[in-house]
C-alpha cells in the first residue's frame, strides 16, 4: 500500500530515525549509576551530539542535490540503527557511548535535512505548507515518543539498557524498507558539491546582533530541560528518575512543536523576545526545583523551555528569510542552525562552572538573568531586520502570505 503513497512511506522512514534521536536521553541516568559518572560527564555525553550533527548538516543537503535523495538518506537510516547497536554493545564503555552519541548527531544531520527536501518533492499537493507541517509532526512525534518509551522501558522493563534500542532497531528496519519504496526526485548530476554555510557581508551585523542571539535560544533552553535539570535532580527523584526524564523530554518536544504555531499569530518581532521570556521563566523554575528539591517543577519548566525553543526557531528562520536572497538562503540557514546547535553545549558549560550545589544555583541564576537581558536586547535590536516593518511582522493566520507574498516559514529543525 505504501508503494502507492510515497509521502506515507517517506514519513515511516523519517519517523524511524526521529524515534531514536532521544532514546538515550533518559537512559543517561542509568549509565551514570552503572559507570559512576559525574554530572559533568553525563552532560558532556548529551552535548557531544551537535559535534556530529553540524558537519553533516552542512553537507547532506548539497550532497543529495547532486547524488540523489535516496542515495544519501538510506545509508543515514541504516546508520541510525548502527548507532543504537553501538549503545547496545557499549553499555559498559564510556568511550563507545560517546561514539554512539556522536554518530547519532551525524545521522540526524543527514536524514532530517534530506527528508525535509524530499518531502516537498515526492508528491504533488494542493497545500504548499502541508509537506513542512507533516515533516514537523513526524519529527516531534519521534522526538517526544522516543524518550517516553525509553523512560518507561528503562524504569520498569527488563534489560533497561537494551530493550529500548532493540525496539528502535526493529523500527529502523521497517523505515529502511519504506525508504526503498520512495521514488527518487533528483536527476543525478556529475558536479561537485560544497557545504552550505555562510553569511553575506551586507547582513552580517544584523545576523550577529539579532539572529545569533535568537538562534542560541533554540537549543540552549531545550538542552537545559533535556540534559541538565534531570541530571541535577536525579538524587531526589529516586526510583522514578528515568521515567520522569523521559516524560520531561516528551513535554519539551510537544512544547517546541506547539509554540512554533504561535509565531504566525504573534509575528516574529514579538515572538523572539517572548522566547527569551519563556526561557528565563523555565530556567527560574529549574533553579527553584534544584534549590528546594521540588522535582515536579521540571514539568512546567520543560513546557516553558520547550516553548522558548519553538518560538525562537520559527522567529529566527523568519529573520533569515527576510535578510537574504534565495541564492544565499541555504548558506545563511545553515549558519543559523550552526549557532543554534552550538548552544546545546549549555549543560556542559554550566556543569564546568559549577561543582557544588550553591555554585549550581548561582550559575543557573546568572543564566536566568542573561536570558532576561537577551530578551531586552533582541526587543531593542530587532528593528535592524529591514523587511520586518509593521505590515510584515503583524500577526497573521498560519500559512497566510506575508507582506512580501511569501508564506510564513514552517520549517522543523533537524534535531
Q: What is the tens place of the pLDDT at every residue in 260-290?
A: 888 878 888 889 999 999 999 999 999 999 9
Span between the terminal Cα atoms of the chain, in Å: 30
Summarize pLDDT for 191-240 with one digit per residue, the tens.
777 766 677 777 888 899 999 999 999 999 999 999 999 999 999 997 89
CA dihedral 106, 112, 113, 116 (to 10 degrees): 170
Cβ pair 199, 335 in contact under 8 A: yes
Top-level class of domain 203-383: mainly alpha
- Nearest 5°: the CA angle 135, 170, 3 is 55
Q: Quote the strand ranges of 126-243, DSSP E.
A: none
**Cα–Cα distance between 30 and 35 in angstroms, integer?**
8
250: its cell numbers: 516528551
**According to the model, what pLDDT value does residue 413 have?**
53
Number of C-alpha atoms within 13 angstroms, CB side, residue 36?
0
Q: Looking at residues 388-411, what average pLDDT do you find?
A: 42
Nearest by Cα to 375 from 286, 288, 285, 281: 281
Give Cα 148 to chain centroid, integer Å: 16
**According to the model, what pLDDT value does residue 196 have?**
63
Summarize pLDDT for 17-41 with one digit per residue, the tens.
999 999 999 999 999 999 999 999 9
Show the DSSP H helices in 22-127 as ranges.
24-34, 39-47, 49-67, 69-89, 94-121
Buried b / exposed e across 66-84, counting CB within 10 Å, b at 16+? eebbbebbbebbbbbbebb
Summarize pLDDT for 47-95 with one digit per residue, the tens.
999 899 888 878 888 888 888 899 999 999 999 999 999 999 999 999 9
- Nearest 5°: the CA angle 275, 277, 278 is 65
Q: Looking at residues 158-164, what average pLDDT do you find?
A: 95
**According to the model, what pLDDT value does residue 366 have?**
97
**According to the model, what pLDDT value does residue 140 have?**
86
Q: Within 10 A of 371 (CB to CB), how many other CB atoms are there? A: 24
Summarize pLDDT for 336-357 with one digit per residue, the tens.
888 888 899 999 999 999 989 9
Q: What is the pTM of this model?
A: 0.84
Domains in the chain: boundaries = 1-182, 203-383
When the pLDDT of each residue in the chain is averaged and rounded to a whole number, the result is 87
Domains 1-182 and 203-383 share a fold: yes
According to DSSP, residue 208 is labeled: I
Q: Is a pLDDT exceeding 60 seen at residue 408?
A: no
Top-level class of domain 1-182: mainly alpha
Amino acid at each position: 500500500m505504501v508503494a502507492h503513497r510515497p509521502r506515507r512511506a517517506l514519513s515511516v522512514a523519517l519517523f524511524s530515525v526521529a524515534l531514536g534521536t532521544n532514546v538515550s536521553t533518559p537512559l543517561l541516568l542509568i549509565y551514570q549509576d552503572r559507570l559512576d559518572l559525574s554530572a559533568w560527564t553525563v552532560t558532556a555525553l548529551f552535548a557531544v551530539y551537535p559535534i556530529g550533527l553540524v558537519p553533516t548538516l552542512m553537507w547532506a543537503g548539497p550532497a543529495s542535490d547532486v547524488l540523489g535523495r535516496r542515495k544519501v538518506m538510506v545509508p543515514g537510516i541504516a546508520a541510525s540503527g548502527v548507532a543504537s547497536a553501538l549503545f547496545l554493545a557499549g553499555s559498559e564503555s564510556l568511550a563507545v557511548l560517546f561514539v554512539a552519541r556522536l554518530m547519532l548527531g551525524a545521522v540526524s544531520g543527514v536524514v532530517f535535512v534530506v527528508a525535509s527536501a524530499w518531502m516537498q518533492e515526492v508528491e504533488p499537493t494542493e497545500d504548499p505548507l502541508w509537506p513542512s507541517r507533516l515533516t514537523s509532526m513526524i519529527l516531534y512525534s519521534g522526538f517526544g515518543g522516543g524518550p517516553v518509551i525509553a523512560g518507561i522501558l528503562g524504569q520498569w522493563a527488563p534489560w533497561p539498557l537494551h530493550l529500548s534500542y532493540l525496539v528502535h532497531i526493529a523500527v529502523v528496519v521497517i523505515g529502511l524498507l519504506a525508504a526503498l519504496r520512495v521514488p527518487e526526485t533528483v536527476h543525478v548530476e556529475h558536479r561537485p558539491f560544497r557545504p552550505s554555510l555562510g553569511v553575506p557581508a551586507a547582513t552580517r551585523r544584523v545576523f550577529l546582533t539579532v539572529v545569533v542571539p535568537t538562534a542560541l535560544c533554540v537549543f540552549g533552553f531545550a538542552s537545559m530541560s533535556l540534559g541538565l535539570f534531570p541530571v541535577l535532580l536525579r538524587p531526589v527523584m529516586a526510583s522514578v528518575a528515568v521515567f520522569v526524564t523521559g516524560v520531561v523530554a516528551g513535554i519539551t518536544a510537544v512544547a517546541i512543536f506547539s509554540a512554533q504555531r504561535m509565531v504566525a499569530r504573534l509575528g516574529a518581532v514579538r515572538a523572539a523576545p517572548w522566547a527569551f521570556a519563556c526561557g528565563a521563566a523555565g530556567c527560574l523554575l529549574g533553579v527553584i526545583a534544584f534549590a528546594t528539591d521540588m522535582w515536579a517543577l521540571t514539568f512546567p519548566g520543560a513546557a516553558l523551555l520547550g516553548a522558548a525553543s519553538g518560538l525562537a526557531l520559527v522567529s529566527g528562520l523568519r529573520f533569515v528569510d527576510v535578510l537574504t536572497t534565495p541564492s544565499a538562503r541555504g548558506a545563511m540557514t545553515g549558519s543559523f542552525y550552526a549557532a543554534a546547535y552550538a548552544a546545546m553545549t549549555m549543560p556542559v558549560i554550566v556543569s564546568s562552572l559549577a561543582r557544588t550545589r550553591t555554585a549550581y544555583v548561582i550559575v543557573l541564576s546568572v543564566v536566568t538573568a542573561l536570558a532576561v537581558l537577551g530578551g531586552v536586547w533582541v526587543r531593542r535590536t530587532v528593528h535592524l531586520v529591514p523587511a520586518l516593518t509593521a505590515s510584515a511582522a503583524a500577526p497573521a493566520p498560519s500559512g497566510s502570505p506575508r507582506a512580501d507574498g511569501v508564506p510564513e516559514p514552517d520549517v522543523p529543525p533537524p534535531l
